[in-house]
Structure 1
Amino acid sequence: MNDTIVAGLLGLLEGLTEFLPVSSTGHVLLAGHFLGFESSGKAFEVVIQLGAIFAIVGVYARLLFNTFRAAPHDPQARRFILSVLIAFLPAVVVGVLAHDIIKRVLFETPMLIAVMLILGGIVLLLVDRWKLEVHYDDASHLPLSTAFKIGVIQCLAMIPGTSRSGATIVGAMLMGVSKRAAAEFSFFLSMPTMAGAFAYDLYKNRDVLSADDLNLIVIGFVFAFVSAVFVVRGLLDFVSRHGYALFGWWRIIIGSVVILALVQGY
């Protein structure tokens, strides 16, 4: 299949799955494996996440603008910004230290990705069924210590197939955050996390990317942006009504199908 078409399909897949607890990177890597798509330094799979970042910024543009405008004179606005930055810090440390292992080993192991999809799906099903006590129903009012713990848990998502949003959502819910607020905090935390991953990965791969690579990245970016907008707008209402069980089953099914395909030599 033509690389341009594949780039568009992978960008679409990235945008559709980035904010769902199903592991967008895992889906994109597995799809690329079976479609025979190879990107220089595996940069495409990380850098196209910028499209999803732009989508979340666009959807929350008014809230973000009002929060930063109020920050100089509103302690609560400053505290919310600080909570997101504190949650972001663990990913900075682990991401920089483990970058080469993540890209050269974990990204190149489809079987590991499939297993993590299944394990993460089981965790989602269990947590969704538990009657967890809710202490926080507003993503902007989380204690700083809780935000930091969510950030530590987010680092698990550096293993592809785990899911950044899945890890942060489950971690937040286990700490007493409501389903909707957990998803919303995951949205906000994704902005610095994904922007940082984009910038660092682009820097690390600056010597191996060609003009053709950049063209494919732009195509993936556009498709990721458009599809992510639709997901962000509908996800909060969906999880408030239906929880996360659907995503748990999806992970288990996809992971199982991939394992069967890999065992058959595909």
Structure 2
Amino acid sequence: MIEMLKVIILGIVQGITEWLPVSSTGHMILVDEFLKLNQSQAFMSTFFVVIQFGSILAVLMIFFKKLNPFDPSKTKIQKNDTLSLWAKVIIAIIPSGLIGVLFEDKIDELFFNSTTVATALIVYGIIMIMLENRNKKPKVSDFSQLTYKLALGIGLFQCLALIPGTSRSGSTIIGAVLLGTSRYVATEFSFFLAVPTMLGASALKLLKVGFAFSGFEWLLLATGSLVAFIVSVFAIKFLLDYIKKHDFKVFGYYRIVLGIIVLAYFYFMK
């Protein structure tokens, strides 16, 4: 029962932090430090990746009509626009996909530690604040203006998310805004990139460790994913509504504070 409660808490943290540009990894490291699931290290490394599946389902549910090129209510032009959007998503995930497949283990070995996570939280928090202070008018305020070249550029920024603490949504949003998109386009495109990116990461992790989990471990995975799905629905809707009236500065300040907390805890409390 205690293990199930811990998984529910982790699912809530995942569902919130996966979509806000604040680094789900940084939060998971802190939360896991205090909760400590009594499971094997192999299971835990799988859990933290596969639990993202619930978050993916939330994106597919909320944006089902927008992402469905076969929706009968769409005109031929709208269907072609949707297919074009998917093509841009595929192009954008190629860089991080290649690097992730080839160097995932090496990246984890070199960078998966509290110092890297805290540094990434702080550095990208500062960048986020500086970016908003620039207050530059976006050149791309609609997906019809998003070119394949621009999509690839955003995809290159997503590669930064392979470093723990950077935040997948944070790196793609920062990259997209730097390249000239509006906050809304940057945020939605970040959501869309998450679908194949996180599905691929989950599948790769399961293939590496296998499927030989106990019935209880499968229950923990299912529970965490379900909670992450429910919470993600609210988190996504919150962020889309929030950015209509606000900028990302608050997330930048939050990242800096969290980074300092992570550094302080692991250097002075451990």
TM-score, normalised on structure 2?
0.90
C-alpha distance in 1 between matches for 2:51 and 2:216: 14
Q: Residue 223 of structure 1: which of 211, 214, 227 is its match?
A: 227
From the superposition, tell whether residues 158 and 68 of structure 1 become closer, same or farther in structure 2 (CA, over 3 Å): farther
Cα deviation 1:33-73 (Å, max 9, x = unaligned): 23334653311111100010001111111222256666977
Kept in 2: contact 1:51–1:221 (CA 8 A): yes
TM-score, normalised on structure 1?
0.92
From the superposition, tell whether residues 102 and 81 of structure 1 become closer, same or farther in structure 2 (CA, over 3 Å): same
Aligned residue-pair number: 265
Kept in 1: contact 2:121–2:255 (CA 8 A): yes
Do residues 49 (structure 1) and 52 (structure 2) align? yes
Kept in 2: contact 1:132–1:174 (CA 8 A): no
After TM superposition, the structure 1 = structure 2 runs for residues 94-173 of structure 1, keeping only pairs within 5 Å, are: 94-107=99-112, 109-173=113-177
From the superposition, tell whether residues 141 and 229 of structure 1 become closer, same or farther in structure 2 (CA, over 3 Å): same
Do residues 265 (structure 1) and 269 (structure 2) align? yes
- Aligned-pair distance for 1:176? 0.6
C-alpha distance in 2 between matches for 1:118 and 1:250: 9
Do residues 2 (structure 1) and 2 (structure 2) align? yes
> What SS is found at the alignment partner of 1:9?
helix
> What SS is found at the alignment partner of 2:136?
coil
Kept in 2: contact 1:132–1:173 (CA 8 A): no
Alignment-mate amino acid for residue 59 of structure 2: I
- Aligned-pair distance for 1:244? 0.4
Kept in 2: contact 1:139–1:184 (CA 8 A): no
Do residues 88 (structure 1) and 93 (structure 2) align? yes
Kept in 2: contact 1:7–1:216 (CA 8 A): yes
From the superposition, tell whether residues 208 and 260 of structure 1 become closer, same or farther in structure 2 (CA, over 3 Å): farther
From the superposition, tell whether residues 21 and 89 of structure 1 become closer, same or farther in structure 2 (CA, over 3 Å): same
- Aligned-pair distance for 1:211? 3.6
> What SS is found at the alignment partner of 1:249?
helix
> What SS is found at the alignment partner of 1:16?
helix
Which sections of structure 1, spanning at least 5 residues, go unmatched?
A: none
- Aligned-pair distance for 1:208? 6.3
> Would you identify which runs of 4 or more consecutive aligned residues in structure 1 move more than 6 Å?
none
> What SS is found at the alignment partner of 1:177?
coil
Identical positions, percent = 37
In terms of mean alpha carbon deviation, does 135-144 or 14-23 score higher?
A: 135-144
Q: What's 1:35 paired with?
A: 35
From the superposition, tell whether residues 222 and 207 of structure 1 become closer, same or farther in structure 2 (CA, over 3 Å): closer
In terms of mean alpha carbon deviation, does 61-70 or 236-245 score higher?
A: 61-70
C-alpha distance in 1 between matches for 2:208 and 2:76: 35
Aligned-residue RMSD, C-alpha:
2.1
Do residues 202 (structure 1) and 206 (structure 2) align? yes
C-alpha distance in 1 between matches for 2:52 and 2:144: 24
